[in-house]
Structure 1
Amino acid sequence: MEPKSIYGLINGCLVDLHYRQDLAAELALSKVANLINHEQHSWKKDLIEHVFSPSTAEEILSIPLSINGGLDVLFWTTDSRGQHTSKAGYNFLMHQASREAPSSSSFVLFTAGFWKGFWASTALPRCKQVSWRVVSGYLPLRAKLIRRHVDVDPGCNLCAEESETEEHLFMHCPSTCQVLFASPLSLRVDNFLTFADFWRHIHELHDSEVMALVQTTIYMMWEARNHHQFQQRPSSMEDILQRVASVQAEVRVGASAPATIERNVAWCGPNRGTYKCNFDA
């Protein structure tokens, strides 16, 4: 049986046996093996239906048994201290779900016109770069690290409600929803079915300033996530919006600055007794 199936089976058994302790003791039901007819490689259906509730019995009987047999092994998820807790079991199941989940990359869903408008925005290059990694699915988010066999907690460290994917972190996370709605964009993310729909909507507005604002906001939310994860320094909605406004002001100042006048400078030799080295910075 798969470890996940065994884990669910044991949990179901524990709930039922809590109310049937006398019966379990009488029948000597202390292991899953006690519920299996090893000669016929099948569950002891009558015993299971007699001991457990109908719903738990149905779940147990739906689990296929190995036809090859094999030795029993102790399998129990533990935390860093070697103790089993409900959190350890939850993390195990989340790891399994994250490994089986398909990639949320939406890179192939966008046209050349989208990318042209994406790169033509007035956002700072670093903001556009991070946003490109978000759209393309290249950020090292926890759900992706799990699929690459990195032992991390797959849950979002901002809300701990779901696995950390692009769609969750930049669209469905409660802190993200607040930032997008409170920003000048006034976006309600529940109006979009997928993350790709969200970006298509921004592109269809055909507004370079709006695209730049989205890219800057995405960058600041990624920065806030990293501050929270690596420096234990959480950022409020007001902090993120203030940093977005500051970067946008920086962009406007840079756009209005006069162009630098290039001057031709003639080369001259060094003073006597010194050396001169010319190099390209």
Structure 2
Amino acid sequence: MPVVEVTTDPTPRASGLTLALSGVAVLAIGLAGLQTGNFVATQFDRAAWLGWLTLAVAVLGFGLLLAAAWRELSGLFALGRVDRLRNALGSGDARRIHAAARLWAATMPEAATLIPAIDAANDPDAILALLRAGPVAAMRARSDALGRNAAFQTTVGIAATPSPALVVLLVAWRGVRLVRQVAALHGMRPGLLGTLGLLHRTMLAAGLVAGSEAAINAAAHAVLSNPLLAHAIGDMAGAGVAARRMILLARATAAACTPLGAARDTDTTF
């Protein structure tokens, strides 16, 4: 019996929804551009100065829209880059790990000393250990500092906010701002779509960093033990929960923004 070889196309194809949305975007942008071009031409027929003025307004408006779109795409590309680096560093392939480590190290302030150390390490495990002990630990310490600062500010805000609805808005706003601060610390500038994607990844990473419960509780207690806060808040149950969530959010965001550390974040030091 002849053997029939079945081959599959390894290239992923775009879904129908992606194609439909792309078509809508092309039509919207294309027709808007054509309509604007016709309007600019009409204004030139009326008067040269009016045509140039209309053209300047159109160029400025489309330029701002394109800049906003590029900023959103850059944030999404940054998230995709973290995923690619994480896959390469966890692949077990020595060459991929070395290349990914050098690529990641090149974006860090300590690249001048970190890249030669990576090149000198001929063992993939040594490279990963070097990254965890160096940039990962440093970034996590800075993220923890941002989390404690956010916890302190949130606690003070809760003490000064009379309305429960305003408390919810305050905690939500401070949490989103903390996520963006930690992302900026890792070299990312997420826009609206990038922030939403990062929030989703942060929620997934929160379960992986929950092993540091003792450290998070200790850090929250340190924030709430401030004499001024103890005098101002009185009953600190709600403030304690909010402070703990801010600290956990900082660590989870750092895990989501770091190619290493999310799956092995078992350090309980704070």
- TM-score clears 0.5: no
Please tell me whether Structure 1 or Structure 2 has the larger radius of gyration of its CA atoms. Answer: 1
Of Structure 1 and Structure 2, the greater helix share is in 2
The two structures have a TM-score, normalised by structure 2, of 0.27
The two structures have a TM-score, normalised by structure 1, of 0.27
Give the number of the structure with larger relative contact order, counting CA–CA contacts within 8 Å between residues 6 or more apart.
Answer: 2
